[in-house]
Structure 1
């Protein structure tokens, strides 16, 4: 950016999600103060990073969540967040909730170069009712703690080929024991292909049926409560194998067993399984990739920098020159496209469409600004949703899943935490019917 300061648009490829926002703010801050980039304070960088962490997902910080958001960043690092959808609003709770998004803990986020600490952050609703002012984050540089600068590495490897098939069971006699039936399908596939070379794995994603229950003591049954059965269970069968041919073969066999297998109490003997979406019996979904690298890597001093690729500098930095910077870039100049004006039939160059003159704008998704409501403690608490404002699960990187629960009222939060209804229980008990 400093080498090419006349840019209008930033298009970022494989980079840390908040990095574009941080770099843009840091460059403008350094320019305004005539100070070098490495002189920016932890609090300034913290607010920039926090803003970038929110803005990377657009309007997910609004309620209702919407396509986009806008951040107004002040010189001292304080920033205002507002949705671009005129019928949505940002609230302190919705913005704070998004700060938890994809994080393994609520206060700290480790990333390239250090750690974002939002433990002292405040969220203030502005008078317009749809903008939130945020301040107080801090970015702790790893080098300030005498630790190496770090970069984030992500990578994946191909672990096989996948084939899927999908369809539904509608016989309640079968769906009442759907998990036992699918276990039988797996066993029959294994028996039929015991002499085939190569590794394979068959599994099922079951939708519409109750969750699988632990096997009852004293017998091998794994049935569902008939009162919970809707009468239909939809499955996605997924096969992962060493080769496309083996994956396709196993999927085809499993689909046939799903269609024509026998089960206890069977009355519908013409076929069990409705399938064939788009006229396809099985769908080849190609190579299956799995995360194999997800690390923060320590760098030697100087490796965190970048430089312009010249005729005497290669795209791949030689090992003996890494301390001059690991991140080279190349400048390519493209001529503007030739555009034919439909009115004059003349060829010119310029923007494809002037959206200001055409009146193109954000579509209105609703008629009135979304209402906000505060959940208070009910007289009788039966479920967590009775008092929580946000309940969601989300991956935090490829190997962790978080479960976020947020409340409108501090007193409700403390009460829920005290009675521990949000904690896992060994006995699988439900929430108490009369906790207050």
Structure 2
């Protein structure tokens, strides 16, 4: 799940953790099934990045009504990169971890291959079947070679394009989602329409938010991106990466980018100021837009199938660290949150596209009033049906960030694309200690 909506700061995670530690102080045991107090009350702590939507859709409240002894306290960090760094620090120190920790798909291979001993095998907690019924590759990605289930798959990220109908009208562009999907059926078509927009748009209104967003969406349409099936790093020679890079730098050269770093306060504010008219839009971005743009922009946003009508951007997992105070209760909550019924609610209310095949079958007719009653169930279901089961490498998160950071150099410091490309390669090597 990638990053989304209004979130709390990383500091809040420390506050919540401190409260949880105070509650557990009277308990002599941190073992499975331990309680916070003599009355059997349990406070489960959950640390996430972005907005998974559990709180926003009322799922925590619903679970607590079903389990009156359970109180759920969530902390979250806006930027997944910052979240990951903090998680690594806590894992290395052995403390400060919540009962449940979120994990972005780009980090999965690294955890499975390098840090499996830091997380519970959910089979030992009675949740070994938590990924049954999901699209096969979702559960496979979080399972070790010897069969340990290290996490529960949440959403997946089929792609589309979100756009501002009011800005399109002002620039003389069509707003019909079917017509637009035909015009930008390829990334070159998307760039061409962007030029038409830029020719008539008001000053300060760019075609899209950033080159990084376009790059991530385009590279997400390929099965092999940063590593091949053998696990070998191929990011420096990958046709998918090079094509996405060239298209994204062309976007900058044509003056179509608002040059806004994603997940920053400036980017968040731009959702309601009209600084960009389109956005590469995985399903989970729907909730982010609503949270940042607010009710005043309901009906001004719409959604259309994007270039290629597919793509795979994001998706997350829930894990139970070995230091969890309440691993049994955490595993039970994870199972409930990931059940088909809850995944349907998350998509209907938040836009988080289900990894459960049963849930997918139930959401095909869903429309979203905020986005002009866009048939989001149909659009994202079609994208999901064609999305590639990506090969995941241990350094996917590092590589993806290196390239998007380098595109930021092209946008904001006028660095030549060839120079920025080399910076990306150098930064991957530095991150790996080379």
TM > 0.5 fold call: no
Kindly name which structure, 1 or 2, has the bigger radius of gyration based on alpha carbons. Answer: 1
Structure 1 or 2: more strand by fraction = 1
Structure 1 or 2: more helix by fraction = 2
Q: What is the TM-score when the length of structure 2 is the normalising length? A: 0.23
